[in-house]
Structure 1
């Protein structure tokens, strides 16, 4: 995205549309986590425990398939119109989910929700680039990433609260007033270009990969339950999935703008990141879907408290992800984290397998935390390593590729967990109830479809049923552990590459979200370089350019000289004092420029002298060189035009930012 497309707006004028975009992102992000704690109640009301996983999987598959299309259609036809359409589709899906009368209806309506959700996530982050200049994008996109961190914590709690205090249908109805507010604000306050950038949209590639993923999910979720593993349906879908994958590869080799360029798989570290991302998505979202069921059915925890019990896992993910990201940034060493993270994740899955009806709250919290810490240690580094491994032209698709595989892993993981759970539950319930007296209307089949009827059983039968549910759920973690161990082995094959200075820790949108992230290479580079606009970044930047230009000036004095050179006379006393930069720093900078003969007063205004103009040109050249150096080998002789324009624009904008704090 070119900086030329940014619509000039005051900082205050940006906040209202940004707030509406955050609401849209909140809706889509929340619906990925809010449903899990409501699922046991939904199943008891609508029936269909065998298809519980599809309530989550349908949404994930639809989001994954729709995300790449929304991004390119927004470029072509205008993001405002498309964002409004995405909100409407999402709200229609939410309303229909709220009135669903059976599981097939709910699953279908969740897919409609997912189609809209993919647009909300993709377009909200893309519109930020239309509203704010490159130097500000990192800060605002960080807000959108924080939404995913917040909803990871709040989603399970809110899902439990609405289910317990109102009705599970309010998990979906709550979207309606929030979405309506976002629609009104977007219509009135968002003013951005109408689009017009033509794409060769890869509709066929999108259809093929979505169809292949659906076939895999159908095989894993229906095989062994609805269909025998040796049935013609299972074999037919497996063969069809393989054919679709082969067709997808062939189509992507010829597509002008492929969903997933096959050339990326020639890069060893990217291929490893994609495979490990699949496993992490598989384990993370499978566990987040079924642990609330374990807590509510086996331990009799309320829906709200099941969300509270999940906090050690979620907080473990966020804390480990944040700490590992900071350590990588400061040390430049990253290989340790995926190795340890996948190892801890494997151990965490084995610990979750040990959960039982008599497990204490402390024991469960410890196991949840270990599992979450393992996931968090891996999540940050995978996107970072993939970005570091590719050339600039592939930066955007590398990011979307890794997150795409995590999305597919999440969809398949939830389905596989559900298939293992459903296939084992029926037999274990039958064994537990054999010879047990049962109340009228209660049977192994009714208990399978309505877990809340466990409370009607006599004590002896209840213990057996709770044990059956416990073993059926915890067995899925045992089956997932070998896959996590394979990921652990794969991490040893990473090639330790020196990190480019421009490759920064990804935000939560790229690590916690189960949907692919669609950003262009220029967007990713702008996000990374925009950290130079922070107080610490500006101080470091101006210290370095002053040293490179061979001058002995305070960082703030270098900034002021460039400001005077680019924008003309400046009255230092009128530079806004927002509390972050002391007035003394500005006054001392102006005084130093006068003492060195680099600027002089014309009345109250500061004007550059001839020596000052020459010094400013040297500082400007040094600043642009340093911006280019941040990009490492991306800044080569064959660099694309958009990267050159981005560096030039950032060079100008950073010169107009507030002065660095250090005097």
Structure 2
């Protein structure tokens, strides 16, 4: 009972009185022993897991295969002026729709929203592959993003419906392994297809999503509480709240994506959408807490619970730093080590390869021992130490150093990648699983966006601040105002005169040092915040209204099915 009272889930007054009376009568309570429930995980269970892995693979492939092929695609459809939109409309659409998907899956169940999301994802890719103009491709990527956003939320949620909280990180580890395989092969495959037939960059996703649909339609049969009429279902949807949220997040993401690329950060084109977006976001949360909102898509309890609040922040930091590393670690190799973009991709393999197996191991440890705070401490401490060590790298650093530093970094990512969502869910009532998962996925994606934006601001500011170290005026012009990142991948640094090369190296080294020091500080802050998390019991009991359909219905007991 003592452990149960630590749970952040709110108790009604009757339960509180009963608990207090029980403790008064039994001053030395008997420890609660949780028994692993006997669960039947037959063929249908594993087919559902397989379909989830397939859509994880294809969404990860879609996100990474386009990175190397996009320059070729934009040239083919004459979309150079729309490059930023072509690269980011998927992120905009998928991020904005996540809380809406989480809420509606509580009303309509998981099955149909998931099938619709996979269909949208497939239609978007089919249209993208058939695109004849940049406008058509942008619209297609929006459709793909709507489907992808739904898949991200619902795939996590279906795991929650089928697996008790203590085992969820283990199954999330399986899925993240599959997705990472796609992440690794995506850029290579994208480069190859971009040179031969760029349309297959999109068409290649269709077989995987098609097989997933072929499995889902007959086997993804999940229960849910059904309303008697469609009118009552629609009345539960938070249309106003989601409209405010989507408009606000699009405005915020517009500012973050366009800032420093199409417009300077001081431009009204950036300031206005950011101010309007964050103001609208505040209005959204006011609406969620008001009596006008009958069924919130992002309930206030998510932010009134210390463990869930801390874990959402840890999610934001972990995902932001992951993107931070992915985008800026190769810059060290391309500038100070004179590596080509391809070679720099090989140089970051110590991090890319090892953090995924470590995430799977983390999931197994959480499942076996039911502990998560030590994992979070190790994860953020390793990330902070590794980023601090990366800040001391220079052009003369030996291979053993940067390999070892990346291995420490992989420990950080492996410990935090999949270990946070189950804790958020454990800190809340089971009825909040859908909205909590939708919010978690939104925060994760939002962290990815900031993981590009914040280090870019730091990097470009330091470059501009120290450009006076470079005596060659022509080179200074090629590096200022955000151009240094792209310049790093051209290989032009190796062609510079020795004296100018040393000066340029100094500018890049200074910018990277500051960038990694800030990352180390952010990870250290996350480490401290882990102390605020409560020690909750990660239950082995599965209590949900959304599990798999029973094959037989007991006589006299109605079962609501989808």
2:267 corresponds to 1:236: no
Q: Is the 8 A contact 1:294 1:473 kept in 2?
A: yes
Among 241, 250, 253, which residue is 1:205 paired with? Answer: 241
Among 499, 506, 515, which residue is 2:538 paired with? Answer: 499
Among 288, 309, 329, which residue is 2:367 paired with? Answer: 329
Aligned to 2:188: 160
Instruction: Give SS of 1:116's match.
Output: helix
Q: Spell out the pairing of 1:127-276 with structure 2 (5 A cutoff).
A: 146-160=174-188, 162-163=190-191, 165=192, 167=194, 173-180=200-207, 182-183=209-210, 186=213, 190-191=217-218, 198-199=233-234, 200-220=236-256, 222-223=258-259, 227=263, 230-253=266-289, 254-276=292-314
Instruction: Give SS of 1:386's match.
Output: helix
Q: Is the 8 A contact 2:128 2:136 kept in 1?
A: no
Aligned to 1:454: 492
Q: Spell out the pairing of 1:480-559 with structure 2 (5 A cutoff).
A: 480-502=519-541, 521-523=544-546, 526=547
Aligned to 2:402: 364
Between stretches 491-500 and 107-116, larger displacement belongs to 107-116
Between stretches 416-425 and 380-389, larger displacement belongs to 416-425
CA drift at 1:348:
2.0
Aligned to 1:660: none
Structure 1 residues 160 and 355 mapped into 2: Cα distance closer, same or farther (>3 Å)? farther
Structure 1 residues 322 and 49 mapped into 2: Cα distance closer, same or farther (>3 Å)? farther
Instruction: Give SS of 2:533's match.
Output: coil
Residue deviations 1:80-114 (CA, integer Å, cap 9, x gap): 45532331113324665xx887xx99877655542
Instruction: Give SS of 2:520's match.
Output: helix
Cα distance in structure 2, aligned partners of 1:472 and 1:264: 37
CA drift at 1:255:
2.9
Residue deviations 1:493-528 (CA, integer Å, cap 9, x gap): 12223332338xxxxxxxxxxxxxxxx9545xx59x
Q: Is the 8 A contact 1:93 1:110 kept in 2?
A: yes
Residue deviations 1:246-295 (CA, integer Å, cap 9, x gap): 21112222433322111222211111111111111111123223334444
Q: Spell out the pairing of 1:528-607 with structure 2 (5 A cutoff).
A: none
Cα distance in structure 2, aligned partners of 1:316 and 1:146: 15
Gaps of 5+ in 1: 1-9, 504-519, 531-565, 567-641, 650-663
Residue deviations 1:537-562 (CA, integer Å, cap 9, x gap): xxxxxxxxxxxxxxxxxxxxxxxxxx
Between stretches 279-288 and 81-90, larger displacement belongs to 81-90
Among 447, 450, 455, which residue is 1:412 paired with? Answer: 450
Cα distance in structure 1, aligned partners of 2:268 and 2:56: 42
CA drift at 1:370:
1.4
Cα distance in structure 1, aligned partners of 2:337 and 2:69: 16
Cα distance in structure 2, aligned partners of 1:126 and 1:54: 30
Gaps of 5+ in 2: 1-41, 228-232
2:359 corresponds to 1:342: no
Between stretches 246-255 and 352-361, larger displacement belongs to 352-361
CA drift at 1:476:
2.9
Structure 1 residues 34 and 310 mapped into 2: Cα distance closer, same or farther (>3 Å)? farther
Query: TM-score, normalised on structure 1?
Result: 0.61
Residue deviations 1:194-252 (CA, integer Å, cap 9, x gap): 99863533343334334434444444455566655555455434432331122111222
Cα distance in structure 1, aligned partners of 2:155 and 2:313: 28
Cα distance in structure 2, aligned partners of 1:211 and 1:119: 18
Cα distance in structure 2, aligned partners of 1:431 and 1:108: 45
Q: How many pairs were matched up? A: 497
Cα distance in structure 2, aligned partners of 1:452 and 1:45: 21
Q: Is the 8 A contact 1:353 1:475 kept in 2?
A: yes
Between stretches 60-69 and 260-269, larger displacement belongs to 60-69
Structure 1 residues 444 and 160 mapped into 2: Cα distance closer, same or farther (>3 Å)? same
CA drift at 1:60:
3.0
Cα distance in structure 2, aligned partners of 1:455 and 1:265: 48
2:121 corresponds to 1:86: yes
